[in-house]
Structure 1
Amino acid sequence: MPAAYSVTWSGQFEYLERATEKLKIVVPATLLIIFVLLYLIFKRFDEAALIMATLPFALAGGIWLLWALGHNLSVASGVGFIALAGVSAEFGVIMLLYLKQSWESRVRAGNDTQEDLLDAIREAAVMRVRPKAMTVAVIIAGLVPIMFGTGTGSEVMQRIAAPMVGGMITAPLLSMFVVPAVYLLLRRQRDKST
């Protein structure tokens, strides 16, 4: 390089670098705050950890759809993943609340066998099917036109919508099948230790 010349990268790359540096601090702090709030709600470490552990798996659908569409990770797709993580955490929290409520009502009635636990889990999971299906349908119906839209700003909006649409396939399945199964394992472990 001749004297008095320099090379700098600017534009989208520069914005992505700045956002990455900020996210290295903000994301862990946010996850810690969310974990503390979940712990305060459930008053149990294992149940708060269950909800936090579901987040990476729920984001898998968004990653797959970004890959299938040929989109790169960007600040806009990061915003989509943050929104997806919020919806996914909400799915898990509500499912866990229903599971606990169903089980606690059976325990108060004196029905606390392993078969009663399975019945409580089935009952709670079935009660969440319709609301979850409606939530997923509304989110997908609202975001699919954005994903395939054209015009000013559509490239950015597509990258925000894609993780949400992809995640609406994996997040509900995770909360419908994995959260009840792990809750069953947690309850069995707790009952064996007491």
Structure 2
Amino acid sequence: GGPAALVFANLPRAATGGIFVLALRGLPFSIAAGIGFIALFGVAILNGVVLVSQIRVFRQEGLTAADAAFQAARSRLRPVLATASVASLGFFPMAFSGGSGAEVERPLASVVIGGLVSSTLLTLFVLPTLYARFFGRENESAPDRG
């Protein structure tokens, strides 16, 4: 349904960040970069699922869509940042390697790092806003079930 679509909305933003960093560093799109996109998409989806799951918990507790989205972004800030930071830092040495095999390592790592920056920002700022916008209207038009 709807929340799953919001989670998948992370993918274009993640791809944009990955493509931007490839272009910025003058690196070609290669098989290694494609593999980097696959790894990036996995982390981006995971972060979106973490946030949307927490929003749903807050909604079940009775919060409005906007309040639940804001509270979820606040409460899941550290886990989402930790996931993205660990993945980015792990790829950092690969992104700037110069030894043998660097032509494979640099595009892969650059895609992951650039994409994680952009998808993390989307997850923490845009996804809660979209959730509040799209799911806040459902409760306004629904009758009270008191």
Q: What TM-score results when the alignment is normalised by the length of structure 2?
A: 0.89
Distance 1:118 1:189 in 2: 10
Shift of 1:173: 0.5
Shift of 1:53: 2.4
Pairing partner for 2:115 from 155, 160, 167 = 167
Match of 2:60 in 1: 104
Shift of 1:186: 2.0
Shift of 1:191: 1.5
Note if contact 2:66-2:131 (Cα within 8 Å) is conserved in structure 1. Answer: no
Mapped pair 1:143 → 2:91: yes
Match of 1:27 in 2: none
AA matched with 2:19: I
AA matched with 2:30: S
**Higher-RCO chain (CA-CA 8 Å, sequence separation at least 6):** 2
Match of 2:31 in 1: 75
Query: For residues 149-189 of structure 1, what are the alpha-carbon distances to aligned partners after superposition, in whole Å with 9 as ceiling and x for unaligned?
Result: 12221210111111001012101110001111111112222
Shift of 1:192: 3.4
Note if contact 2:11-2:41 (Cα within 8 Å) is conserved in structure 1. Answer: yes
Distance 1:119 1:47 in 2: 16
RMSD of the TM alignment (CA)?
Answer: 1.5
Match of 1:56 in 2: 12
Mapped pair 1:47 → 2:3: yes
Evaluate the alpha carbon distance shift between residue 149 and residue 63 of structure 1 in structure 2; reply closer, same or farther with a 3 A threshold. Answer: same
AA matched with 1:174: L
Shift of 1:92: 0.8
Mapped pair 1:93 → 2:41: no
Shift of 1:128: 1.1
SS at match of 1:59: helix
For these two proteins, the number of residue pairs brought into alignment is 142
AA matched with 1:177: F
AA matched with 1:169: V
Task: Report sequence identity in percent.
Answer: 35
Note if contact 2:65-2:136 (Cα within 8 Å) is conserved in structure 1. Answer: no
Note if contact 2:22-2:111 (Cα within 8 Å) is conserved in structure 1. Answer: yes
- Specify every segment of 5 or more residues in structure 1 that has no aligned partner in the other structure, as ranges: 1-44
- Specify every segment of 5 or more residues in structure 2 that has no aligned partner in the other structure, as ranges: none
Evaluate the alpha carbon distance shift between residue 117 and residue 51 of structure 1 in structure 2; reply closer, same or farther with a 3 A threshold. Answer: closer
Match of 1:21 in 2: none
